[in-house]
Every structure is written in C-alpha cells, then in structure tokens.
Structure 1
Amino acid sequence: MKSFKVVSAFILMLLIVSLAACGSTYNQSSTGEYIDDSVITTKVKAEILNDPELKIMEINVETFKGTVQLSGFVGTQAHISRATQIARSVDGVVAVKNDIRLK
C-alpha cells in the first residue's frame, strides 16, 4: 500500500511538471499561444497579399503573444501605413510593431 502512494505521488508530480511546461513565460509562449500566433500571422499575410497595393511588396510578418511585427521594404510611406492598418484589422491582434523601411 505504501508503494502505491509513492507511485501515485510520483505520477501526480510528473503531471504537474508537464502541465507547467506547457505554460507561457515572458520570453516564451505556450502551445496554445503559439498556435494562436500562427493563425494571426497567416491571416495578416493573407490580407496583405489580397490588398492590390501591397501584394507585390516584400513584407514579413511575425507574431508573438498577439503582437504583430511587420518588417521588410516598400516603395512609399502610404504602403507602410496601409500594412499597419491591415494588421490592426485582423482579429486577435493586440498590437502592431512596424519596422517596414522605404526602399
């Protein structure tokens, strides 16, 4: 009976540790957050590609905990503003960091 309690306690500790490993930290997102960020990135990229002004531009999109970072090069300041506007319009976007530069 004593060994059953020890084994049960060990299994419980393993479960707690494995669940804690799935949680997020300041520098790392959880599995669920990573999937959400991937969906946001895909939606922003699709919207940019569907925009007639921006679809030929070199714009990179990355997302971390709902914050979208745009980078790359475009031809005009209007394209930078348009990319920011598109990113902000996507559901799930918390903030947008725009590092797009003019060519």
Structure 2
Amino acid sequence: MLQFPRVASLVSLLGCVILLGCSTSPKQESTGEYLDDGVITTKVIAAILHEPGLKSAEINVETFKNQVQLSGFVSTQTEIDLATRVTNTVKGVKHVKNDLRLK
C-alpha cells in the first residue's frame, strides 16, 4: 500500500519537470513562437518585395518573439524609413529594430 503514494509523487514530479521544460525564457522561444516568427518573417519579406522603392535582395529580416530586425545596406535614408514603415504594417509585428546602413 505504501508504493502507491510514492508512484503518484514520482509521476507528479515528472509532470512538473516536463511542463517546466516546455516554458520559454527571455532568450528562448517555444515551438509555437518560433513558427509564428517564421510566418512574420515571410510576410515582412513579401511586403518588402512588393514595395517598388526597396531593393529587397540587400535587406535581411530576422524575427524573435514578434520583434523584427532589419539589417543590410540601402542607398538612401528614404529607403531606411520606407523599410520601417512597410515592416510596421505587417500583422503581428510588435517592434521594428532597423539596423539598415547606407552604402
């Protein structure tokens, strides 16, 4: 009869460990967040591709927890500003960090 409480405690402890392993931290994403960020990245790239004033081949896009980072080189300050505006219009983007540089 003493075995049942020990097994139940062990199963409860194992369940807690598994749940804690699935949680996220400020430096890690869950699987769902990772997939969501991939969708946002794809949408931002598509928006930049469809913007005639931007040369998308020279703009890199990375997303982490709905925050988009733009990097690369463009010819004018107008392109930097336009890239930020276009990125902000994409659904799901919470913040844009624009690290674009002038050539």
Residue by residue over 1:11-59, the C-alpha shift from the partner in whole angstroms, topping out at 9 and shown as x without a partner, is 2222221221221112112222222111111111111112222244411
| Count of aligned positions | 103
Contact 2:53 2:79 in 1 (8 A): yes
Residue ranges of structure 1 left out of the alignment (5+ in a row): none
Residue ranges of structure 2 left out of the alignment (5+ in a row): none
Contact 1:57 1:74 in 2 (8 A): no
Residue 6 (structure 1) shift = 2.2
Q: Taking structure 1 as the reference length, what is the TM-score of the superposition?
A: 0.87
Residue 66 (structure 1) shift = 1.2
Please state if 1:34 is matched with 2:34.
Answer: yes
Structure 2 match to 1:99: 99
Q: How far apart, CA to CA, are the structure 1 residues paired with 2:82 and 2:41?
A: 16
Q: After alignment, is 61-70 or 12-21 more displaced?
A: 12-21
Contact 2:61 2:69 in 1 (8 A): yes
Residue 4 (structure 1) shift = 3.1
Q: Taking structure 2 as the reference length, what is the TM-score of the superposition?
A: 0.87
Deviant stretches of 4+, over 4 Å: none
User: What is the alpha-carbon root mean square deviation over aligned residues?
Assistant: 1.6
Contact 1:44 1:87 in 2 (8 A): yes
Contact 1:57 1:73 in 2 (8 A): no
* CA 56–32 in structure 1, closer or farther in 2 if over 3 Å, else same: closer
